[in-house]
Chain A
């Protein structure tokens, strides 16, 4: 079954995605994973900052904000 996979940064406010892949390596990857960004986790776009960047997500019941450039390295599928 082939699913549509796209970068997290393309989700709109209110939409959710399930994390499929992260294009980070080493320390950066560890940091993201420590914050709960793990394969199979559902992530929801809560709001976007007034100037269009960063984005406020809700994952594991807490608020996490990421820049667009970072969110575009995280791939998700439609929840």
Chain B
């Protein structure tokens, strides 16, 4: 066959098959004389315009970013409030009926299990808003244009035009960013994008930078934070090029055969379907990992190894958790922060980056204001849930105009307790042998690069599979260590700090 036709068999069969179909279609299908300028064409003239195309694309991406990062925030706070308020009271009350108040069972449910439930549910509003934005972009047909406009740039990084969106969403939260990689059809593109997404510094890492920059670089804290973001982007770019030319070299060259479909108005039904299907998918798949991690961590913190505390009633620095961190800490010695407090903060950072700062105040034993309110009644709780939902909706509507304005830093800066700041300063100066500022910089770089939180890992496992998730986790830890090492030791060599 090959000799007769001068081509391999598959090719000949395909040629003949499509040739036949083509002939058949030509014979029987009558087409209206087409050469009309449709509405779609008119929109495309503007949207893929040589000058306006990229600004329009950037604006669209900004709206998506704001929707996932800011507009969803009031609902996120509401979910958080409901879990930490009413649901905690109810569980406590229920356990009280069983005569378990003050026992380790109560602590396990409240601090372990509920923390896990909260860890899953707080992402629900974020994901709903991401999927709302994605559904609109995809169903309207704009996503194909966005890929068309950006492909040249992303292709030089070994990526695809559609990779831009997950990257951008990653600045808000890494979890929806992993799910946004699903818009990429080619497996290689999807995996490479997924591997680079965590380097887009997520919103929860910001408070850590802000706190440390305020302690060690009060004069130019804004610049430090800005450069950290750039460092993350730069790392992703270099890593993208490196991976493209090494690990992914032999892989099948991804093609960019893409239809630019006519624009359509998305239907509410399909948008809702996307939002619900995909969000509930996360909840179903992620809750096991998140719950297990929360409970394991609770046990580690509950078991005393020294001191006079008993099970579930011990100071954190007497727990297995602290002991384990004392063993881990020397690993960070060459980076300038080899004390157990710093490594505890990093380890709890795996649960959620939001808790790094609060873990620091916990392990540095800073006095926290106690909550001494009378628990509200059941009906007050129900009322509270409803009114706070209404006010969250109000806040969301109010935050819509914010989409246009840049408001990244203003409200994130919460006043850090001064005792915590001086405790951190002292701790880092001691552990680094007098190079506190360098050690702090190394710590921030480590926080930027190292493994995202357990929820992100759960999302990553779902999207990239177990193998690539492990590659990603190990790679990030190594890279974080090396980069922090370079910052601390390099800085010392250059005589900085």
Contacts and interface: CB of A to CB of B under 8 A. Distances in A.
A67 B151 contact: yes
Contacts of A29: 10-11, 14
Contact of B257 (A40, A53, A70): A70
B412 interface: no
Interface stretch (B49-57, B129-137, B166-174, B421-429): B49-57
Given A63-B259, A63-B260, A67-B256, A53 B155 contact: yes
B48 A50 contact: yes
Contacts of B11: 25-26, 29
Contacts of B257: 31-32, 35, 64-66, 70
B259 A70 contact: no
A56 B53 CA distance: 14
A51 B152 CA distance: 6
Contact of A49 (B18, B53, B255): B53
B148 interface: yes
Interface in A20-79: 25-26, 28-35, 38-41, 47, 49-54, 56, 61-67, 70
Nearest to B49: A50
A11 B8 CA distance: 29
A54 B151 contact: yes
Counting chain B CB atoms within 10 Å of each CB, which of A30, A50, A56, A65 scores highest? Answer: A50
A62 B259 contact: yes
Nearest to A32: B257
A54 B14 CA distance: 26
B34 interface: yes
Contacts of B19: 38-39
Interface string B153-169: 10100000100000000
Contacts of A25: 8, 10-11
Interface residues of B, number: 33
A34 B15 CA distance: 10
Interface string B1-35: 00000001011001100110010000000010010
B155 A64 contact: no
Contact of B149 (A35, A50, A63, A64): A50
Main secondary structure of the interface of B (DSSP, over half): helix
A49 B256 contact: no
A56 B260 contact: yes
A56 B148 contact: yes
Interface in B231-270: 255-261
Chain A interface size band reads 20 to 34
B259 A56 contact: no
A69 to B, nearest CB: 8
A35 to B, nearest CB: 6
A39 B18 CA distance: 9
A32 B144 CA distance: 18
A65 B144 CA distance: 9
B91 to A, nearest CB: 55
B352 to A, nearest CB: 38
Nearest to A41: B22
B103 to A, nearest CB: 62
Q: Choose among A28, A32, A34, A47 the residue with the greatest number of B CB atoms under 10 Å from its CB.
A: A47
Contact of B18 (A33, A62, A66): A33
B148 A54 contact: yes
B148 A49 contact: yes
A63 B255 CA distance: 16
A27 to B, nearest CB: 8
Contacts of A26: 8, 10-11
Contacts of A28: 255
Contacts of A32: 257
Contacts of B148: 49, 54, 56, 65
Contacts of B161: 54
Contacts of B152: 49, 51-54
Contacts of B150: 51
Contacts of A52: 152
Contacts of B259: 35, 62-65
Contacts of B8: 25-26
Contacts of B22: 38, 40-41
A50 B256 contact: no
Interface in B246-303: 255-261
11 contacts: A29-B10, A39-B19, A49-B148, A50-B48, A51-B54, A54-B148, A54-B152, A61-B31, A62-B261, A65-B256, A65-B257
Given A54-B151, A63-B44, 6 more contacts: A34-B18, A50-B50, A53-B155, A61-B34, A64-B257, A70-B257
The 6 closest A-B pairs by CB, nearest first: A51-B152, A63-B260, A50-B53, A53-B152, A33-B18, A67-B256
Interface of A: 25-26, 28-35, 38-41, 47, 49-54, 56, 61-67, 70
Interface of B: 8, 10-11, 14-15, 18-19, 22, 31, 34, 44, 48-51, 53-54, 144, 148-153, 155, 161, 255-261
